[in-house]
């Protein structure tokens, strides 16, 4: 572990969205980070504290235009908090200039270029970089993160589903052709764009599914689960929109090969050394509010005797462990800092 406590110069590209805002909040409180650049083409010249009032008194930076050479001179690490299909256009130049990049978008998560282009509807700008990009789920790729230059931060739904199934797939304890993930997210997961479906009058007092026939996160989840299992898996993934701002609740279902296994002990042992995965005692079920504003993922395991099925319940904050907090955790691993650095806050209640 690095004990010299260096200060790393950091930049954030695209910090006008909810994920970018959360990333700024975490980075400005990080003991080993100096925030030196924050970019936005639409808000160039605007003070961060004027755009994000919660940052008043914490940062005097203004948004600048994102330029690779300027970022390389001012930063050792750059975070992309941009929409999909944006980071890939600047990535070759940043990589050539030697900058370490943590991308919160989906541009480098999928290893199959054709599959990525199918789901995101555009041609990938730099497919030659995909092979070297590290899919950076800390609980499974910690050793690959260390020393990497281009890191793809996992998506919010994929994080909850992968962590929920992880111990079972690693040990080959469940059937892999019949996995189900019933997931629900707060509306901040849809981003900050002005859309009718995201209006308060549309979301409040309402609960609905979307992307049932196919969601962009499905191939990412299946890729991760297949890597864990060492074979192809088949997942039915149905996302839902919750009438709240933050939080993800994923209820996972699977068929164990041996229902007599002690699944509670399995999960407790697998995650015993993971600082951001909390396995609840048997019979307790996680709530989204218990992780609000934190990098925690809470999991409960419930065998269902009547059907010989197993239910796994997973909660996380989609903006933290599902995005910005996980990105900071990745940075901590990258620089051999304590993984909890800047991420030890307690959940907000009520």
Peptide bond into 263 cis (omega under 30): no
How many CB atoms sit inside 10 A of residue 304's CB? 11
Residue written as tokens 């909660």? Answer: 315
d(CA 322, CA 102): 14
Strands 179-185 and 235-241: parallel
Residue written as tokens 């993934």? Answer: 237
The first and second tokens of residue 329, run together, are 């955790």
The first and second tokens of residue 177, run together, are 């052709």
d(CA 170, CA 230): 8
d(CA 68, CA 96): 10
The first and second tokens of residue 316, run together, are 């996380």
Catalytic positions, please? Answer: 156
Tell me the DSSP string of 139-174. HHHHHHHTT-SEEEPPPHHHHHHHHHHHHHHHTT-B
Q: What contacts 75, CB < 8 A, 6 or more positions away?
A: 9, 10, 11, 36, 37, 99
Q: What angle do CA 221, 281, 347 make, to 5 degrees?
A: 70
Report whether 228 contacts 170 (CB < 8 A). Answer: yes
Secondary element (H or E) of residue 48: helix 48-51
């Amino acid at each position: 572990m690095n004990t010299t406590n260096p200060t790393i110069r950091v930049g954030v590209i695209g910090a006008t969205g909810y994920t970018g805002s959360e990333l700024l909040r975490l980075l400005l409180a990080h003991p080993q980070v100096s925030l030196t650049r924050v970019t936005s083409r639409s808000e160039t010249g605007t003070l961060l504290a004027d755009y994000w009032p919660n940052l008043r008194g914490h940062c005097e930076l203004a948004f600048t235009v994102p330029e690779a050479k300027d970022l390389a001179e001012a930063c050792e690490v750059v975070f992309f908090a941009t929409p999909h299909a944006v980071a890939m256009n600047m990535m070759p130049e940043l990589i050539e200039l030697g900058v370490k990049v943590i991308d919160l978008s989906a541009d480098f998560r999928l290893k199959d270029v054709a599959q990525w282009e199918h789901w995101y509807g555009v041609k990938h700008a730099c497919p030659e970089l995909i092979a070297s990009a590290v899919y950076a789920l800390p609980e499974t790729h910690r050793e690959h993160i260390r020393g990497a230059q281009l890191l793809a931060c996992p998506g919010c739904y994929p994080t909850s589903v992968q962590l929920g199934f992880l111990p079972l797939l690693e040990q080959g304890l469940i059937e892999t052709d019949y996995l189900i993930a019933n997931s629900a997210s707060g509306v901040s997961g849809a981003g900050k764009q002005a859309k009718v479906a995201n209006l308060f009058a549309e979301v409040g007092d309402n609960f609905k599914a979307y992307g049932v026939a196919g969601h962009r996160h499905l191939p990412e989840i299946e890729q991760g689960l297949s890597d864990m299992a060492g074979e192809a898996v088949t997942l039915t993934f149905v996302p839902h929109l919750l009438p709240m701002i933050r939080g993800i609740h994923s209820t996972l279902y699977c068929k164990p090969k041996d229902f007599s296994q002690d699944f509670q002990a399995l999960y407790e042992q697998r995650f015993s050394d993971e600082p951001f995965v909390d396995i609840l005692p048997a019979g307790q079920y996680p709530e989204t509010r218990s992780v609000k504003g934190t990098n925690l993922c809470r999991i409960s395991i419930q065998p269902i005797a009547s059907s010989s099925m197993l239910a796994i319940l997973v909660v996380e904050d989609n903006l933290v462990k599902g995005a910005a907090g996980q990105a900071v955790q990745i940075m901590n691993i990258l620089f051999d800092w304590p993984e909890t650095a800047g991420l030890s806050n307690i959940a907000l209640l009520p």
